[in-house]
Amino acid sequence: MRILFIGDIVGKPGREAVASLLPGLKEELAPELVIVNAENAAAGRGVTRAIVRALFASGVDVITTGNHVWARTEELGLLDDEPRVLRPGNYPPGSPGRGWGVFRTTRGNLIAVVNLIGRALMEPVDDPFRAIDDILAATALQTPLCFVDFHAETTSEKVAFGWHCAGRVSAVVGTHTHVQTADERILPGGTAYITDTGMCGPEDSVIGMEVEAALARFRTQLPHHLKVAEGVATLCGVVIDLDDQTGKAHSIQRLRRSEELYPREPQEKL
């Protein structure tokens, strides 16, 4: 199974990049499953029913989120109503929505999709390391294919979480920092891993937000209203190929596409 995963979609530029680029990517890459993280899709914070409908209409199969999903309190019913929209599964019991689901692809394969959040330099939610163990105890009976979006701040917690899952899940992809990392690899046991997928949002920005307001925050330490930047967006993602029988990952490749022919040609590794 080939999975296309797209990182945190930021605001209208991010949504428009998905709408304009996803059809071509689906044609080019022929993924069996398209997953996107939409925690910043609604003006930079949260997601709405209308956005979710549009994402599904563009060809998205499952939506993950993160800490910002709670920002739109009027839309939280969505998390209870729509099993294809996940929120991190290690919020306390009783939180709206679900942290994982087992989905059947159009080609008939079953795959578990899991959303978890880190705690290092973040809010003190339940332990994600024990959470994945519990979730795997439930999903492993149904399918060996398991994709995890681990939404976390520090590289140490994310890399450690990858090792914790190595050989037990198909893929651990990081989100939240909005900057793609160049450390994609297959961990021992066949687990595809990347520390952060990067965002789908405006390139000339501070992780998706307008540069001037973000700079003002750092320079003054006073509150400045941040809003999503305008301009050309870049779509960051990963493409992961799994063995349908074993759930082991064969490969993980980074993806970075711009809506326009962007003047900066991304440089290749030496």
| Interface positions with a second copy (CB under 8 A) | 29, 70-71, 73, 91-92, 94-95, 119-127, 129-130, 153-157, 159-161, 163-164, 177-186, 188, 195-196, 198, 204-207, 211, 214-215, 217-223, 239, 251-256, 264, 266-270
Shortest Å, Cβ 204 to a second copy: 8
User: Distance (Å, rounded) from C-alpha 201 to C-alpha 79?
Assistant: 23
Strand-pair partners of 114: 100, 148
> Looking at beta carbons only, is 121 or 138 nearer to a second copy?
121
Q: What does the block give as tokens for 193?
A: 């891993």
Question: Residue 20 binds which one of a second copy, Fe ion, none, with CB within 5 to 8 A depending on kind?
Answer: none
Q: Does 8 bind Fe ion (CB under 5 A)?
A: yes
How remote is the C-alpha of 255 from its chain's centroid? 13
Count of C-beta atoms within a 10 Å radius of residue 104: 10
Residue 230 gets the label, from left (phi > 0), alpha (psi -120 to 50) or beta, of: beta
Of the candidates 73, 72, 67, the one whose C-alpha atom is nearest the C-alpha of residue 87 is 67
Residue 141 C-beta: closest distance to Fe ion, Å: 31
- On whether the CB atoms of residues 4 and 237 are closer than 8 A, the answer is yes
68 labelled catalytic: yes
CB 225 within 8 A of CB 7: no
- Residue 108 binding partner per list a second copy, Fe ion, none, with a CB distance cut-off of 5 to 8 Å that depends on partner kind: none
The 36-75 site mask, x for binding Fe ion (CB under 5 A), equals ---xx-------------------------xx--------
Q: Which residue has the tokens 């563009």?
A: 58
The residue among 221 and 245 lying less far from a second copy, judged by its C-beta, is 221
Q: How far is the CB of 263 from Fe ion (least distance, A)?
A: 26
104 vs 185, beta carbon nearer a second copy:
185
Active site residues: 68
